[in-house]
Amino acid sequence: MNSSNDFQGKAVIISAPSGAGKTTLVNKLLKAKLPLLFSISACSRAPREGEEDKKDYYFLSVEEFKEKIKVQDFIEWEEVYQGNFYGTLKKEIERIWKEKKHVVFDVDVIGGISLKEYFKENSISIFIKPPSMEVLSKRLKKRKTDNRESIKNRLEKSFEEMKSIDKFDKIIVNDELNISTKNIIETVEEFLK
């Protein structure tokens, strides 16, 4: 995928287990005055309180999502949880590169690995690592967006996702937010040079 002009957009892929703080770090990165735009993912789940269609996600029904899979509208997609699909639309990357910006992805670990395979050396993949599984568990409970069963499922998935950490170009331990923010901004600045 290449835009018609001479601008060669790059991809910044940020992944983490649920609750590791990747969305917070992505938001800090996007405020850092770098030529970056956020890739809005598509998903088949209902919006959470405060989320907006075409801003936080492209909210699709399961049927709409499956239709887009069929016509190959996605760079990557997966069924993260039963009946719960997430994916990256090709048109979203084209939109960002047309604006002469580099694309930032906030995706789960499997999505991050898929995107790295797709964009290859034109991308950097960053794994946001929680300081410990205990801290991760506390963060998930503090969010109050999931019930006990959902938190248990997320922790089990996180444990599995941690096994893929060596597939990423850079690992940032998100213990102290200010330090993590500085690390991610410096890493991306260096990559974009």
Residue 3 is predicted with a pLDDT of 42
CATH of the domain at 140: 3.40.50.300
The mean pLDDT of 19-34, rounded to a whole number, is: 93
Residue 3, domain member (yes or no): no
Q: 3-state DSSP call for residue 171?
A: strand
Mean pLDDT within 60-71: 97
Side-by-side strand order, sheet with 42-43: 58-59, 42-43, 84-89, 74-81
In a domain, 2, yes or no: no
User: CA angle, 96 as apex, 93 and 98 as ends, to 5°?
Assistant: 105
* Residue 34 within any structural domain of the chain: yes
Percent of the chain with pLDDT over 70: 95
Residue 1: inside a domain: no
In-domain check, residue 167: yes
Gap between the Cα atoms of 156 and 160, Å rounded: 7
**Burial of residue 9, with CB atoms counted within 10 A of its CB: 0-12 exposed, 13-18 middle, 19 or more buried:** buried
* Angle at which helices 22-30 and 177-192 cross, to 10°: 60
- pLDDT value of position 142: 78
Sign of the C-alpha dihedral computed for residues 84, 87, 91 and 93 taken in this order: positive
The model's confidence at residue 61, banded by pLDDT at 50, 70 and 90, is: very high
User: Whole-prediction pTM value?
Assistant: 0.85
Parent domain of 60: 11-192
In a domain, 5, yes or no: no
Domain contains 163:
yes
User: What would the pLDDT profile of 108-166 be if each residue is shown by its tens digit?
Assistant: 899 899 999 999 999 999 999 988 888 888 877 777 677 788 788 878 888 889 899 99
Residue 60: its pLDDT value, please? 97
145 vs 75, residue with greater confidence: 75
Instruction: Report d(CA 171, CA 161) in Å as an integer.
Output: 13
Query: Structurally, how many domains does the chain consist of?
Result: 1
